Amino acid sequence: MRTFLKSVYFIFLLIGITVIEIHAQDNIAIDWKELDTYFENMVSEWDLPSASIGIVKEGKLVFSGNYGYMDLEKKQKPDENTLYAIASNSKAFTSAIIGMLVQEGKLDWNDPVKKYLPYFALYDPWVSDHTTIRDILSHRVGLGTFSGDNIWYKTTLSSKDMIKRIQYVSKAYDFRAGYGYSNLMYITAGEIIKTVTGKGWSENVKEKILLPLGMTRSISSIEQLDIKGNFAQPYARKDGGNYKIPWVDWDEVAATGGLISSVNDLAKWMIFNMDNGILGKDTLLSKSTRNMVWTPHNNRMVDHTKPNDFNRHFNAYGLGWGLSDYHGRLKVGHTGGYDGMISAITLIPDEKIGVVVLTNGVKSPIMAATYYALDKMLGLETKDWSKTELKRVDANKLKDTRISDRISKRVLNTKPTIAVQDMVGSYESKLVGKILIEKKDDKLLLIFENAPLLKAELSHWHYDVWKINWLEPQAWFSFGTIKVNADNNLNVLGFDFDVPNNDFFFEELKPVKSK
């Protein structure tokens, strides 16, 4: 279903769909039917289950396009109210709540984290003492991108217990001397919000943002999905096709990525931000807060020696927002990745233009759709972004031979030197806690005590290496092994993980056998 909104200029009918032409800028006429057809073809080209795309301009939702099926089995089509997980696009809501608390005098941007969470610790005591709220919101504390994410992923731990384990994540670069995207720091920010207000992140975001903005469909718990209805199903990929996977509970880590929303609701969020935090006669975000979250706090290098597709001169992270320039205009935005769902929110504040792309697949053209929409809205010469980005994604997949390399190096007809009964037992990882290897009937099981959805069956691979066969669907990783380690007397010491993927670094876990 495709819907087009805005009452300006010429109204006419095309194939039973009402299309309204508007001028995004002076002398720029948008061919909405062409844009709609492009997105429809794009979803097909990418073999994407579904996408819902919204464009706002001058305070109104002027385009809403909905494509594919939000449930492939039931052939259900999405609409502008269909719910998708927006994952890390939730981070901008977290920084906005922090800003509101600053406005209320309940905390300061430069307050040390330990002022509110005395147990907070990083890899170094001095760094732990001097890390501020601005530091944790701008990914500059010294942790590597995604490092330590196994602490929170699919865990049953409380946020407080997750934060207590951050001290065991290794330093990737010096404090405030680099960029390392850290979900753990936004979980920490959520706990600060809870400590200061006495309410969880979900209650705060509902009271301070969702209800005032009229984002009545948006939720932060999968337990509310059936109540709301009209929600997309998440899909992962295997053997070149899509397959349905379960929704995963991110309630406890909502501050880093737990919001579930729709095109209609996120249009209100985009408009609110481009109105600088002013809602009608109410100023929810002060001038100081707006400037703070949209000021570069952590700069990333741009190659100035060669041209780029966006005439980009700077690339930075503010507080909960990515910042760069797009053909001479400020671009503010973020992307998000949830198990089986990818999203993007992008704003061009000077032109009052915003684009939201929500999808329910892990091979997703979120930026292709965004760039094509922006170029059209800005009257720029555009290219076939879908074809360009798809070619790049497919090429990168072909280059990634990590799994095939490992499979090719398997040595057949070998036997382990360490007996299964010696492997069985309890192991301790400083990052995730207890990991068990258990023998049950004829099966050898790998069990994460604090993350039961990561349970797996082990099968012999070669020598003292065992293949991990996940018992639950996993969106971000597939093939993996463990290597059992022993001392010179063949006493088991622990084991090493090897799970090649780009998101969750199992090699950091380093489980040691309990005595």
pLDDT tops 50 at residue 286: yes
Backbone angles phi, psi at 411, to 5 degrees: -105, 115
C-alpha 95 chain-centroid distance: 16
Element housing 91 (H / E): helix 91-103
Q: In whole angstroms, what is the distance from residue 475 CA to residue 215 CA? A: 29
| Cα angle 94, 183, 113; round to 5 | 65
Report which residue type is found at 9: Y
Q: Do the domain assignments include residue 136?
A: no
Residue 441: give its domain's CATH number. Answer: 2.40.128.600
The whole-number pLDDT of residue 23 equals: 37
Please state the pTM of the whole predicted model: 0.93
pLDDT tops 60 at residue 65: yes
The whole-number pLDDT of residue 484 equals: 98
Q: Do the domain assignments include residue 173?
A: no
Tally of structural domains, the chain: 2
Q: In whole angstroms, what is the distance from residue 317 CA to residue 347 CA? A: 14
Q: How many residues does the chain have?
A: 515
The Cα-based distances of 322 to 301, 344, 361 in angstroms read 13, 11, 23
pLDDT tops 70 at residue 22: no
Choosing from 372, 399, 426, the residue where a domain stops is 399
User: What is the residue-averaged pLDDT of the chain?
Assistant: 94
Residues 283 and 372 in one domain: yes
Residues 422 and 395 in one domain: no
What's the pLDDT tens digit per position in 349-387? 999 999 999 999 999 999 999 999 999 999 999 999 999
| DSSP letter string, 188-240 | HHHHHHHHHHSS-HHHHHIIIIIHHHT-TT-BS-GGGHHHH--BPPPEEEETT
Q: Do the domain assignments include residue 176?
A: no
Residue 275: give its domain's CATH number. Answer: 3.40.710.10
Q: In whole angstroms, what is the distance from residue 62 CA to residue 54 CA? A: 8
Residues 277 and 352 in one domain: yes
**How would residue 157 be classed by pLDDT, with cut points 50, 70 and 90?**
very high
Across 1-15, 176-190, 333-347, least confident range: 1-15
pLDDT tops 90 at residue 11: no
Residues 362 and 501 in one domain: no
Choosing from 399, 429, 456, the residue where a domain stops is 399
The whole-number pLDDT of residue 26 equals: 56
Q: Are strands 50-57 and 60-68 parallel, antiparallel or unpaired?
A: antiparallel
**Contact between 333 and 347 (Cβ < 8 Å):** yes
pLDDT tops 60 at residue 81: yes
Q: In whole angstroms, what is the distance from residue 357 CA to residue 335 CA? A: 9
Residues 244 and 295 in one domain: yes
Q: Do the domain assignments include residue 275?
A: yes
Q: In whole angstroms, what is the distance from residue 196 CA to residue 472 CA? A: 37
Q: Do the domain assignments include residue 377?
A: yes
Residues 435 and 331 in one domain: no
**How would residue 110 be classed by pLDDT, with cut points 50, 70 and 90?**
very high
Residues 354 and 428 in one domain: no
Residues spanned by the domain of 236: 2-71+82-87+217-399
Can you read off the two tokens belonging to residue 398? Answer: 């072909």
Report which residue type is found at 223: E
Residues 270 and 327 in one domain: yes
Choosing from 384, 399, 414, the residue where a domain stops is 399
**How would residue 3 be classed by pLDDT, with cut points 50, 70 and 90?**
very low
Q: What is the dihedral of CA 378, 381, 386, 392, to 10 degrees?
A: -120
**How would residue 248 be classed by pLDDT, with cut points 50, 70 and 90?**
very high
The whole-number pLDDT of residue 515 equals: 85
pLDDT tops 70 at residue 27: no
The Cα-based distances of 179 to 163, 254, 419 in angstroms read 20, 22, 44
| pLDDT mean over 75-92 | 98
**Is 112 strand, coil or helix?**
strand
Residues 224 and 310 in one domain: yes
Residues 389 and 410 in one domain: no
The whole-number pLDDT of residue 375 equals: 97
Residues 365 and 414 in one domain: no
| pLDDT mean over 26-55 | 94
The whole-number pLDDT of residue 485 equals: 98
Q: Do the domain assignments include residue 124?
A: no
Q: Taking the CB of residue 50, how many other CB atoms lie within 10 A of it?
A: 24
**How would residue 29 be classed by pLDDT, with cut points 50, 70 and 90?**
confident
| pLDDT mean over 136-146 | 98
The whole-number pLDDT of residue 2 equals: 42
The whole-number pLDDT of residue 24 equals: 41
Measured distance between the N- and C-terminal CA atoms of the chain, rounded to whole angstroms: 61
The whole-number pLDDT of residue 28 equals: 80
What's the pLDDT tens digit per position in 442-496? 999 999 999 999 999 999 999 999 999 999 999 999 999 999 999 999 999 999 9
Q: Do the domain assignments include residue 343?
A: yes
Task: For the chain, give the percent of residues with pLDDT over 90.
Answer: 94
Residues 272 and 337 in one domain: yes
Q: What is the dihedral of CA 149, 150, 153, 158, to 10 degrees?
A: -90
Q: What is the dihedral of CA 51, 57, 63, 67, to 10 degrees?
A: -10
Place of tokens 């936004």: 186
Strands of 45-115 (E only): list them.
Answer: 50-57, 60-68, 84-85
pLDDT tops 80 at residue 19: no
pLDDT tops 60 at residue 195: yes
The whole-number pLDDT of residue 348 equals: 98
Q: Do the domain assignments include residue 242?
A: yes
